[in-house]
A and B are shown apart, each in its own frame.
Chain A
Amino acid sequence: KNEVEQSPQNLTAQEGEFITINCSYSVGISALHWLQQHPGGGIVSLFMLSSGKKKHGRLIATINIQEKHSSLHITASHPRDSAVYICAVAYNNNDMRFGAGTRLTVKP
């Protein structure tokens, strides 16, 4: 069982829809990262969270430390948002654990 669980594994949406991707983890962490990976492999860091909520453009990330849960929201989705979104948790021992990713396809 992966220490970091993401849902859904695959998500197809129509352009303009509001999208939510969820991430749950099993033990206490020092921080949680949301990453975006495009075809070809390049990974870009979207957010780093240790508490609360962050917003960047159409992207919003939240974390609930007590419930060990984080969500990534995309408002007004666009086909260029199509990518794999990966949740990663950082432990105090500097180890990182990654979820398997959520493959998002936004159709025009």
Chain B
Amino acid sequence: DQQVKQNSPSLSVQEGRISILNCDYTNSMFDYFLWYKKYPAEGPTFLISISSIKDKNEDGRFTVFLNKSAKHLSLHIVPSQPGDSAVYFCAASAEGMRFGAGTRLTVKP
């Protein structure tokens, strides 16, 4: 069941630059999308979400973009900070939630 895909297992960026994490989905019934952040030995924590009626949602340094026609979701972090280093999971919801495999972001000082 690969309805939500994060094709990049890892991403490395320099502190202060932009981090862009990508996510693709196949189910057109998904109507709510979320990003979770996970540090080692901790549970995932909710970061930001977007409804399918919007194409952008911003919260401080974090912006999520939704392209419904392409069934593509992205998370932009700018400027990136070393504390942002974590695994980021994309999730999509429609009568139940599906998670991507995660992308490990490393922000180098």
Q: Do A and B come from one complex?
A: no
Which residues of B are interface residues toward A (Cβ below 8 A)?
none
